[in-house]
Amino acid sequence: MRFNDIIILNCSENMNSGKTYTYFSTLPQILATHYDYVMKADDDVYLRLAPLASSLHPLPRVDLYYGFVIPCPSMNAFVHYMSGMGFVLSWDLVEWIGRSNIPVNNTYGPEDKLVGQWLNLGNKAKNRFSAKPRMYDYPGTNGRCSHELIPDTIGVHRLKKWEQWIDVLRFFNVTKQLQPSRLYNVSFD
């Protein structure tokens, strides 16, 4: 899978005024390319694109809803909805959001939960997959939704402090191969 087969919105967590609907519903109108998947992600999540792409590779490219299922202890992707830390929809669902009266008439409220409701009301997203335990909250930030950093991570959520970002970047050796430059400083020591 090429990385350009996924388009990602990285946005603030306060998405309760229709921004998610606007994002998904306008993409088919403004993009000349049809992507396999579209992702919405919070701005306090560290995403690892190679593991994300690898995890999506064997999955269907239609009627797909993928992410970290809520509530935290659940592994059943059909019970509730995917957390706003980051979830993926297949392109056909993005097009459906733009055409259907279900989402357009229900855009105010906890938007990640609303997306799950739209899909349920429309009898959509027959292919649902939870990325647990590879998507999770930063250790110690959210009880049952968090655990220690693991090598095959897709996404770490709730990175609210610089120290948390630094810890995550160090764990995954993100800056190890960077050459020195006058354009940036990557020294975390």
Left if phi > 0, otherwise alpha if psi is -120 to 50, otherwise beta: which for 135? Answer: beta
For 159-181, write each residue's pLDDT tens digit.
999 999 999 999 998 877 777 77
Instruction: Provide the pLDDT for residue 9.
Output: 52
Predicted confidence at residue 1, as pLDDT, reads 44
SS3 state of residue 47: strand
Q: Give me 17's structure tokens.
A: 């005024």
For residue range 50-64, what is the model confidence (pLDDT) as tens digits? Answer: 999 999 999 999 999
Distance between CA atoms of residues 102 and 150, nearest Å: 38
Q: Are 81 and 112 in contact (CB under 8 A)?
A: yes
pLDDT digits (tens, 9 = 90+) for 129-159: 999 999 999 999 987 899 999 999 999 999 9
Q: What is the pLDDT of residue 187?
A: 62
10 Å Cβ neighbour count for 163?
10
**What percentage of the chain exceeds 70 in pLDDT?**
88
Using DSSP, state whether 43 is helix, strand or coil: coil
